[in-house]
């Protein structure tokens, strides 16, 4: 199988601080990684597509200055929530595209962010 890790799994921070979430593909290289947000009892909402070595593509309504994405290597993408506020509290989950004939995305375990 394909393994994707995400760190931290849970973070609690004060309003106004920045939080960085890491997404790593452990046993394959991922040219493309995706960042999703999931509200309780809802489906996944795509935030942005992260391509190695280039700027991320953000979905409509997602503030690129608030959610900074960096994809510096083929195995690591980071999402930084800048100046977090309580409304940013959510479950953030990344996926890595393994490519190949099916283009399957493998997901990390997610990060639960709580902003006080």
Partner 1 sequence: AQKITQTQPGMFVQEKEAVTLDCTYDTSDQSYGLFWYKQPSSGEMIFLIYQGSYDEQNATEGRYSLNFQKARKSANLVISASQLGDSAMYFCAMREGRVIQTGANNLFFGTGTRLTVIP
* Interface ranges with partner 1 (CB under 8 A): 30-32, 34, 42-44, 46, 49, 51, 91, 93, 95, 97-110, 112
| Residues in Cβ contact with 59 at an 8 Å cutoff, skipping those fewer than 6 apart | 45, 46, 47, 48
Distances 95 to 22, 28, 41, 46, 64 between C-alpha atoms, Å:
11, 12, 19, 10, 19
Give the residue among 15, 18, 6 at the shortest CA–CA distance from 76.
6
Least distance (Å) from partner 1 to the CB of residue 49? 6
Of 12 and 16, nearer to partner 1 (C-beta) is 12
Cβ of residue 71: shortest distance to partner 1, in angstroms?
12
Q: Output the smallest distance, CB 57 to partner 1, in A.
A: 8
**Of the two residues 33 and 84, which places its CB atom closer to partner 1 in the complex?**
33
CA–CA gap between residue 32 and residue 54 (Å, rounded): 10
Min separation Cβ 92 and partner 1, Å? 10
Q: Within a 10 A sphere around the Cβ of 101, how many other Cβ atoms?
A: 5
* Nearest CB to partner 1, comparing residues 59 and 63: 59
């Amino acid at each position: 199988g394909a393994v994707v890790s995400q760190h931290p799994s849970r973070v609690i921070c004060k309003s106004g601080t920045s939080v960085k979430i890491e997404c790593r593909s452990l046993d394959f290289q991922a040219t493309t990684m995706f960042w999703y947000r999931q509200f309780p009892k809802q489906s996944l909402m795509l935030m942005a597509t992260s391509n190695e070595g280039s700027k991320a593509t953000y979905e409509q309504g997602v503030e690129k200055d608030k959610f900074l994405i960096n994809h510096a290597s083929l195995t690591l993408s980071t999402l930084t929530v800048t100046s977090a506020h309580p409304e940013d509290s959510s479950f953030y989950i990344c996926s890595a595209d393994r490519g190949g004939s099916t283009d399957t995305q493998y997901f990390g375990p997610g990060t639960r962010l709580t902003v006080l």
